[in-house]
Amino acid sequence: MSRTYHHGALAEAMVDEALERVRAHGADQVSLRSIAQALEVSPSAAYNHFADKDDLLRAVGACGLAALDERMSRVLAAHPADTTDDARARFSGLGRAYLAFAIDETHLFQLTFGPICAAKELPPEETGPFRKLISALDDLDRWGLLKPGSREGLDLTVWAATHGMATLLVEGAVPPEAVEPFIDSMARLIVRE
């Protein structure tokens, strides 16, 4: 394996480098050429592995979705038992995890749910985060914790509210301190008692 030619795993290396740069400075500030330079590779080398720049960014966006999913998985793992309290904690915990991701990984969040990735990615109802949210709602419903007659359309409403709150956080339109009041308000609207 000569050191000067043929990187060997350029695709992964480029995604890694791009991921780091997106997290630090946002997708707009990332150039294909600078990534290639950092990897000591010519700019055009990328085109053996990605159709174009957006294709690479889409791969980075997929990492973002995976990272979010993992955060939410950790929440579920922390509340495995089947009690009503756990059902409540799972629901609010998932919301908190989603918003924490938006706060901690602002730039990555913007790429993952931005126009570049939205175009050619799977519909939300097939993503891990959305499915976890739905099953948390189903859980609440199973325990009779939802306000009567509110289940219909609730998936989308809760998803929209959470995602909307996340984008407001990301844009700086709302400070991080607003997260807990938001979760409380949501719970008050949805959960009985």
Judged by the rule CB under 7 A, the positions of this chain that interact with DNA are 1-2, 4-8, 10, 30-34, 36, 40-49, 52-54
Reading the block at residue 28, the tokens are 């707009």
Q: Are 19 and 60 in contact (CB under 8 A)?
A: yes
Angstrom distance (rounded) from CA 182 to CA 137: 17
Nearer to a second copy, 66 or 156 (CB): 156
Pick one of DNA, a second copy, none as the site partner of residue 168 (Cβ within 5 to 8 A by kind). a second copy
Nearer to DNA, 48 or 173 (CB): 48
Nearer to DNA, 3 or 188 (CB): 3
Angstrom distance (rounded) from CA 136 to CA 74: 14
Instruction: Report in angstroms how near the CB of residue 29 gets to DNA at its nearest.
Output: 9
Instruction: Report in angstroms how near the CB of residue 150 gets to a second copy at its nearest.
Output: 6
List residues binding a second copy (CB under 8 A): 26, 28, 110, 113-115, 118-119, 123-124, 147, 149-150, 152-154, 156-157, 159-168, 171-174, 178, 181-182, 184-186, 188-190
Angstrom distance (rounded) from CA 120 to CA 65: 14
The sign of the CA dihedral 82, 84, 88, 91 is positive
Instruction: Report in angstroms how near the CB of residue 139 gets to a second copy at its nearest.
Output: 18
DSSP letter, residue 149: T
Q: Which residue has the tokens 């519909």?
A: 123
Nearer to a second copy, 100 or 161 (CB): 161
Pick one of DNA, a second copy, none as the site partner of residue 41 (Cβ within 5 to 8 A by kind). DNA
In 59-183, DSSP assigns E strands to none
Q: Are 111 and 60 in contact (CB under 8 A)?
A: yes
- Residue 52 to residues 6, 56, 128, 154, Cα–Cα distance (Å): 20, 7, 27, 38
Pick one of DNA, a second copy, none as the site partner of residue 167 (Cβ within 5 to 8 A by kind). a second copy
Instruction: Report in angstroms how near the CB of residue 9 gets to DNA at its nearest.
Output: 7
Instruction: Report in angstroms how near the CB of residue 104 gets to DNA at its nearest.
Output: 25
